[in-house]
Amino acid sequence: MATTYRIAVLAGDGIGPEITAVALDVLRAIAPRFDLEFDFVPALVGGCAIDAVGEPLPAATLETCRQSDAVLLAAIGGTQWDTLPRHLRPETGLLALRSGLGLFANLRPAKVFPQLIHASSLKPQVIAGVDLMVVRELTGGIYFGQPRGIFTTETGEQRGVNTMAYTATEIDRIGRVAFETARKRQGKLCSVDKANVLEVCQLWRDRLTALSAEYPDVELSHLYVDNAAMQLVRAPQQFDTIVTSNLFGDILSDIAAMLTGSIGMLPSASLGESGPGLFEPVHGSAPDIAGQNKANPLAMVLSAAMMLRYGLNQPAAAQAIEEAITAVLDQGYRTGDLMSEGCTLVGCREMGNLLIKELSQ
């Protein structure tokens, strides 16, 4: 008897529909081998939702996601929506989706594939063997803190305000996810803050240090965010698992992304305490290449693999997809963002077909 999973599919904007089609084909191809069945339920989010119903996260979409076993999201946004009021922009829909699903932990792996080591702008000896995970707090910090806004002072001058705030409970729960993640990896956790300047970060450091007593098998270290950014570029092999706040994680995970040579190779998972997780590529909607069969679908396919591993507890199926990607890269096939001398250029659909061929063998 096959195990059936209901998957909410949010293809979104730009290259989203193209890369989603590839990921769903790969999941359909892998399903029989592992006795799985998928019920894919499409829903609107982001710019396409704004165009269709006038808001970036329709209530029906959130309900579809809540009733699913996992949520697979491609990409949202585009310049045509940039002039809308903030509450109507595509990005607001994504923030509301994370909040509505109670997703507080974002896991972003950054792994250097040996076949792509020359795609990075850094020297091969600097990035060889890099395999790190950034655990980012997702629903607190400066992106959600109150008060926020642009106000007029008593003297008539405009003043912009955002508030960076964390409770001990919020810090502890992301800390536990990070310690558990490090425990499954190499047992090293680096907490990144700015405790020398920000009180909220002093509390962050205090709580992580207190939590470490519960995880004697995990080695905890601390770095200030400016030094962490420098070390990620200078000597990234030193890192295993990094845990940090929403704002710092947003920046550091993109730095980590470029170690790999292409943001088009990076998946992510967002998890809550219960309910479905959200699985999405790190890259954006790339409207400049949308509809041209140029997009790299591998981050989306790797996000589907993360869904299998972290959301559906199907690690063998996840590994089969990851091995298929490695095999296709070994054969020298590359999308434009990964292209290098001696390799064969393929489009989005062709890359998907190559993966399916590999999975069928």
Can 224 be counted among the known catalytic residues? no
Say what the pTM is. Answer: 0.85
86 is in an annotated binding site: yes
89 is in an annotated binding site: yes
User: Which is catalytic among the residues 143, 172, 188, 224?
Assistant: 143
Which run of H or E residues covers position 191? strand 188-193
User: Which is catalytic among the residues 5, 194, 240, 333?
Assistant: 194
User: Which is catalytic among the residues 39, 51, 226, 330?
Assistant: 226
Rounded to whole angstroms, the Cα distance separating 35 from 218 reads 36
CA distances from residue 277 to 103, 236, 261 in whole angstroms, order as listed:
7, 28, 27
CB 297 within 8 A of CB 352: yes
Question: How many other C-beta atoms lie within 10 A of the C-beta of residue 330?
Answer: 12
User: Which is catalytic among the residues 25, 250, 310, 333?
Assistant: 250
Residues with Cβ within 8 Å of residue 352, at least 6 apart in sequence: 21, 22, 25, 26, 297, 301
Can 226 be counted among the known catalytic residues? yes
Structure-derived torsion over alpha carbons of residues 285, 137, 249, 43, reported in degrees to the nearest 10? 0
Which run of H or E residues covers position 220? strand 219-224
Can 143 be counted among the known catalytic residues? yes
Residue 18, classified by CB atoms within 10 Å of its CB into exposed (0-12), middle (13-18) or buried (19+), is buried
85 is in an annotated binding site: yes
187 is in an annotated binding site: no
CB 219 within 8 A of CB 187: yes
Can 337 be counted among the known catalytic residues? no
Which run of H or E residues covers position 355? helix 348-359
254 is in an annotated binding site: yes
CB 174 within 8 A of CB 208: no
Q: Which residue has the tokens 């996992």?
A: 70
Q: What is the pLDDT of residue 102?
A: 92
User: Which is catalytic among the residues 131, 188, 224, 254?
Assistant: 254
131 is in an annotated binding site: no
Q: What is the pLDDT of residue 269?
A: 95
Q: What is the pLDDT of residue 226?
A: 98
CATH of domain 1-104+266-360: 3.40.718.10
Quote the tokens at residue 211.
């939590």
Low-confidence ranges of the chain (pLDDT < 50): none
pLDDT in tens, 187-210: 999 999 999 999 999 999 999 999
98 is in an annotated binding site: yes
Q: What is the pLDDT of residue 340?
A: 85
Please report, rounded to a whole number, the percentage of residues in the chain having pLDDT higher than 70: 100
Is 120-260 a domain of CATH 3.40.718.10? yes
28 is in an annotated binding site: no
Asked if the domains 1-104+266-360 and 120-260 are classified in one and the same CATH topology, the answer is yes
CB 348 within 8 A of CB 335: yes
The residues spanned by each domain of the chain are 1-104+266-360, 120-260
- Three-class secondary structure assignment of 24-89: HHHHHHHCHHHCEEEEEEECCCCHHHHHHHCCCCCHHHHHHHHCCCEEEEEECCCHHHCCCCHHHC
Q: Which residue has the tokens 């990035």?
A: 127
